[in-house]
A and B are shown apart, each in its own frame.
Chain A
């Protein structure tokens, strides 16, 4: 009985601590906030049903991140098999510079901002960046999660820095253009 209660408390604490970040992470793969939220909620429900013992493990956060990542990838595969295909979602692609968010028509300003900022990053770089900055993983932890070397993480983070530099320099112009075109569309 006591154990039960502890598990519930741990579960709720984990949810309150990680839910929003997990959704933001999922949003870097998926097309909209509802999909991201559904994916993350599914992950949490499965965690409760199938791996409640993980809740007291120090690795729970990594487990969660990996689960969200896998869930998103499986959703993308499903979409792909149904003919809904966003080439740039594929995490293995290194070339694309748009996030799926850009395919949505009625982006809120907030969604557009995150889409634009993250959209500058190649997928793997984006994932590394989010693991470190959003989830607060150390380089070493991120390297372990992605099964790459710490040096690779350093490369990605340096690249992210460089791309953001270019992005923020462009953003003033883009904002101007958007405000200019808005009345037309």
Chain B
């Protein structure tokens, strides 16, 4: 009996504290308050506790302004500036930063040297990207799997190095001593510049970020091209083709940044498939105007699934993981 009464009083107090009280409720509550001198104190204590819990709950802060910027970029802003959509920028997360730091540590430990004829030093980026600073203060970032050989001190007219695989070079300017890279199928000569160079036994490509690069076929001194900022060239079985750099993500392996400016959805998926080495399959039911829609977006250090989710949100499709590690994309 007493318990039941308490339950009813609790409900009445709650109602009053929420402004839900009716005149009948007030009458019953008043009766209770008058019944014992302590009851007013009990009521007051309840009211205080209630407010404290409410304050605790409302005390968790969220940055509405920052969230609005993110949401607006995908909604209001995306709609009004359709011709020039604002790219969605993401900062690299703390987690991936520490992951990267760990990777660098690991790579640092496994760095080993093997003498190559003509060079005193060799570095091999076995487990991940590797930064190397050469004696002339040239900075080289080796892509995972790449090998670079050089001499501890550069002597003679040329600064000579040898590369296998892919690397980004930021060459210290020294016009008296050209920097020459023996890049398997190709030969690259520069004075001071920054560029990405990728080579194998029978193919090579270079993309220039700043300065000038002379790119020539390995043993054929007459087949060469001089490239400047924003240009690229491919060498394939001694055939050379140069063009403007179209793929803005050629440095993804180094920067972790992927960005698309008005790129067709299907082309975006094709490249993501290449970068992440996973099959991404567009469902046949997707209409052409959807698969060819232009996407503008950028990512920094995100994983494939998070990237797919974001693109799907913009492109109104959805992804699911299919058999054999494959990703299937279908209309929403």
Contact = CB atoms under 8 A, between A and B. Distances in A.
B62 A37 contact: yes
Contacts of B54: 133
A183 B316 CA distance: 51
A164 B76 CA distance: 42
A22 to B, nearest CB: 9
A24 B67 contact: no
Interface of B: 7-8, 10-15, 17-18, 20, 45-46, 49-50, 52-54, 56-62, 64, 67-68, 70-72, 74-76, 80, 313, 316
Interface of A: 8, 11-12, 15-16, 19-21, 23-24, 27, 33, 37, 40-42, 44-45, 48-49, 110-111, 113-114, 117-118, 130, 132-134, 138-139, 154-155, 157-162, 164-165, 167-168
24 contacts: A8-B76, A12-B76, A21-B58, A23-B60, A24-B58, A44-B75, A45-B71, A45-B313, A49-B316, A110-B60, A110-B61, A111-B60, A114-B56, A133-B54, A139-B20, A157-B11, A157-B14, A158-B10, A161-B17, A162-B7, A162-B10, A164-B49, A164-B50, A165-B46
B60 A114 contact: yes
B76 A16 contact: no
B80 to A, nearest CB: 8
Contact of B18 (A40, A44, A133, A164): A133
Nearest to B8: A158
The 4 closest A-B pairs by CB, nearest first: A158-B11, A157-B14, A48-B75, A158-B10
Given A45-B71, A49-B75, A168 B53 contact: yes
Contacts of A44: 71, 75
Contact of B68 (A15, A33, A161, A164): A15
Majority secondary structure of chain B interface residues (helix, strand, loop or mixed): helix
A132 B49 contact: no
A81 B7 CA distance: 39
A121 to B, nearest CB: 10
B64 A161 contact: no
Contacts of A157: 11, 14-15, 18
A20 B313 contact: no
A133 B75 CA distance: 30
Contacts of B61: 20, 110
